[in-house]
Structure 1
Amino acid sequence: MTEHAERIALSTGITLNVVTAGDPAAPAILFLHGFPESHRTWRHQMAEFARDHFVVAPDQRGYADSDKPQDVEAYTPDKPVADALALMDHFGKDRFILAGHDWGGAVAWMAALLNPDRVERLIICNAPHPYIFQKTLIDDPVQRNASQYFRAFRDPAIERHIESIGMDQFFDTSFAPYVDPAKVAEEKPVYLAQWTKPGAMTPMFNWYRASSIVVPALDETPERPAFLDAPFPRMQMPTLVIWGMRDTALTPVQLEGLDCFVPALTVCKVDAGHFVTWEAPEIVNGAIREWLD
């Protein structure tokens, strides 16, 4: 696979670093990464699907080699959704397959819900459906406990804390516990190089701060968000959900009841952790290939 990387100025006012491969005339797959990564989340999938698709993987706003506005408002969910659509407009792709992991999956869920005319098929890897995620944060004590890092990342003191302990220790305490120990050594220098760029950490945390998701404290009885008691729209396109079942941040409870919101649902459960795309690339690629075929 021959990759091409370029910085692309979008109509949203943001310039993204974007990696592409494959024939630009072929059907397109847009790959969106999450925290705390970059386009490299999808490196194994890009190598596989560039054989018969045009594959597009940006560093999302606030990450790696893309623009990093420092204000929280720049990361409200509508902004990265608009980036994704504008990026595919740039390549002249009216319809495309959309794949997302972690925060990239949150963007993908929203983009597909709001733009079914653009998203032909949806691929989600360890990223919770918005209704189920909010419901489990209220009702499921295990998921609520697992998501307390969300509150820590929203805390304005987190950047000063990282400064005091050093980036190495932040990696070892906040990131390494969620990945396959055998593979984390390979990734560490890549992450540290990205995270130590000037102004790199605040934008990544601003994705958490800008989200409207309610993450209650463990001892809190929160007000129930109104949308949980109202009808929620169904997905209109075929959707593949691949889930690393050893994910300790987003537990498998996220799969329960998902078929109620996604009529054309296929679920693939994988013996892997949260970073399933690079922890179990052969299985992920095989599941996507079988589903597409």
Structure 2
Amino acid sequence: MSAFKLNRIALSTGVELDVATAGDPAAPAIVLLHGFPESHRTWRHQIPELAKTHFVIAPDQRGFARSSKPEGVENYTPDKPVADLLALASHFGKERFVLVGHDWGGAIAWMAALQHPDRIEKLIIVNAPHPFVFQKSLFDDMEQRAASQYIRAFRNPALDAQIAAMGVDRFFDTTFAKHTDPELVAPERAAYIDEWSQPGAMTAMLNWYRASAITVPAMDETPERPAFLDAPFPPLQMPVLVIWGMRDTALLPVQLDGLDALIPDLSIVRIDAGHFVPWEKPAPVTEAMRSWLAA
């Protein structure tokens, strides 16, 4: 159901990913990482435009759509998709590349940029919180803590059976669809349900939350504060563009606070949109990317 031709690529990390590509393979590479609960289709509006200047690589990450879904939460710790990313770029002979990430794809992009700055030429983040800022906000900002309680629900293993009992159609209509623009998401309903209905897909997607080391305290809880929040955090070395849909109800604008202290070469573009800004407001997102890359 993709508008793009998908290539099945076996990686050295032991998984096979469906990957959309576009543009001249000899051009500079740009890798687009989607988040929950999506696929490469997150970037359906940006891929054709970015392909005018770059070789675009947009995978369905492990656990999503028809890509491999290894069993076990341990196979979804962030280091695993980071390794997938680097192996995928190497598969195409791209040792350095521009990296773009939204939601969970952004979390992987932040980690890859922090741990492998030699591979990431430039970084574009779309509504995905910096790990330091996010963890700090979950302790110090009660509005963000309240907005993130869904993560605790997603980590509950009983949720898988509940979704199976109601069916992915009803799960789409009663949960996901209510947090997006109905007019924009309705035409995509069949594509989402097709991807979510793949064997093991819902559990695999939720395992990304279960494998994360981020602490999400309950509203009435005061757990021990992670030590790294009160220690210096390494700054990013490459230029970074952050694009933020300011009406995101899950990741609040507080996620932009303090970024300038962590990113010496930072640009921020604020857009009047919700969390799924790449397809809610595709034109300003694409323009922000292309202008920044050209500059």
TM-score range, shorter chain: over 0.9
- Which SS does the other structure have where 2:45 is aligned? helix
2:163 maps to: 162
2:53 maps to: 52
| Residues 178, 247 of structure 1: 8 Å contact kept | no
2:220 maps to: 219
Counterpart amino acid of residue 92 in structure 1: G
2:37 maps to: 36
> How many Å apart are 1:3 and its aligned residue?
4.3
| Residue 98, structure 1, aligned to residue 99, structure 2 | yes
Once residues 231 and 193 of structure 2 are traced to their aligned partners in structure 1, the CA distance between those partners, rounded to angstroms, is 43
Counterpart amino acid of residue 57 in structure 1: A
1:177 maps to: 178
2:117 maps to: 116
Once residues 219 and 170 of structure 2 are traced to their aligned partners in structure 1, the CA distance between those partners, rounded to angstroms, is 26
Q: Residue by residue, what CA displacement relative to the aligned partner does 1:146-174 show, whole Å, maximum 9, x if unpaired?
A: 11110011001001111222222211232
Once residues 151 and 55 of structure 1 are traced to their aligned partners in structure 2, the CA distance between those partners, rounded to angstroms, is 34
1:243 maps to: 244
| Residue 8, structure 1, aligned to residue 6, structure 2 | no
| Residues 66, 198 of structure 2: 8 Å contact kept | no
2:72 maps to: 71
Once residues 165 and 96 of structure 1 are traced to their aligned partners in structure 2, the CA distance between those partners, rounded to angstroms, is 42
Tell me the percent identity: 67
**What are the ranges of 5 or more consecutive residues in structure 2 without an aligned counterpart?**
none
| Residues 178, 249 of structure 1: 8 Å contact kept | no
- Which SS does the other structure have where 2:14 is aligned? coil
- Which SS does the other structure have where 2:175 is aligned? helix
| Residues 16, 58 of structure 1: 8 Å contact kept | yes
Once residues 199 and 147 of structure 1 are traced to their aligned partners in structure 2, the CA distance between those partners, rounded to angstroms, is 25
Give aligned pairs, total: 292
- Which SS does the other structure have where 2:44 is aligned? helix
Q: Residue by residue, what CA displacement relative to the aligned partner does 1:95-149 show, whole Å, maximum 9, x if unpaired?
A: 1000000000000000001111110000000000000000011111111111111
| Residues 126, 242 of structure 1: 8 Å contact kept | yes
2:195 maps to: 194
Once residues 173 and 242 of structure 2 are traced to their aligned partners in structure 1, the CA distance between those partners, rounded to angstroms, is 29
- Which SS does the other structure have where 2:247 is aligned? coil
Once residues 178 and 261 of structure 2 are traced to their aligned partners in structure 1, the CA distance between those partners, rounded to angstroms, is 32
| Residues 239, 264 of structure 1: 8 Å contact kept | yes
- Which SS does the other structure have where 1:56 is aligned? strand
Ranges of 4+ aligned residues in structure 1 off by more than 3 Å: none
Counterpart amino acid of residue 61 in structure 1: R
**More moved, 32-41 vs 187-196:** 187-196
Counterpart amino acid of residue 24 in structure 2: D
Once residues 245 and 29 of structure 1 are traced to their aligned partners in structure 2, the CA distance between those partners, rounded to angstroms, is 25
What TM-score comes out, normalization by structure 1 length? 0.98
> How many Å apart are 1:5 and its aligned residue?
1.6
- Which SS does the other structure have where 1:37 is aligned? coil
Counterpart amino acid of residue 20 in structure 1: T
| Residues 123, 239 of structure 2: 8 Å contact kept | yes
> How many Å apart are 1:187 and its aligned residue?
1.6
Once residues 231 and 254 of structure 1 are traced to their aligned partners in structure 2, the CA distance between those partners, rounded to angstroms, is 18
- Which SS does the other structure have where 2:187 is aligned? helix
> How many Å apart are 1:289 and its aligned residue?
1.1
Once residues 174 and 116 of structure 2 are traced to their aligned partners in structure 1, the CA distance between those partners, rounded to angstroms, is 38
| Residues 100, 109 of structure 2: 8 Å contact kept | yes
What TM-score comes out, normalization by structure 2 length? 0.97
Once residues 37 and 80 of structure 1 are traced to their aligned partners in structure 2, the CA distance between those partners, rounded to angstroms, is 15
| Residue 287, structure 1, aligned to residue 288, structure 2 | yes
Q: Residue by residue, what CA displacement relative to the aligned partner does 1:218-254 show, whole Å, maximum 9, x if unpaired?
A: 1111110111011111010000000000100111110
Counterpart amino acid of residue 268 in structure 1: V
Q: Residue by residue, what CA displacement relative to the aligned partner does 1:174-212 show, whole Å, maximum 9, x if unpaired?
A: 212321222110121111111111111110000000000
Q: Residue by residue, what CA displacement relative to the aligned partner does 1:75-100 show, whole Å, maximum 9, x if unpaired?
A: 00100000000000000001100000
Counterpart amino acid of residue 274 in structure 1: H
> How many Å apart are 1:68 and its aligned residue?
0.5
| Residues 35, 103 of structure 2: 8 Å contact kept | yes
2:144 maps to: 143
Q: Residue by residue, what CA displacement relative to the aligned partner does 1:25-66 show, whole Å, maximum 9, x if unpaired?
A: 000000000000000001111110111110000000000010
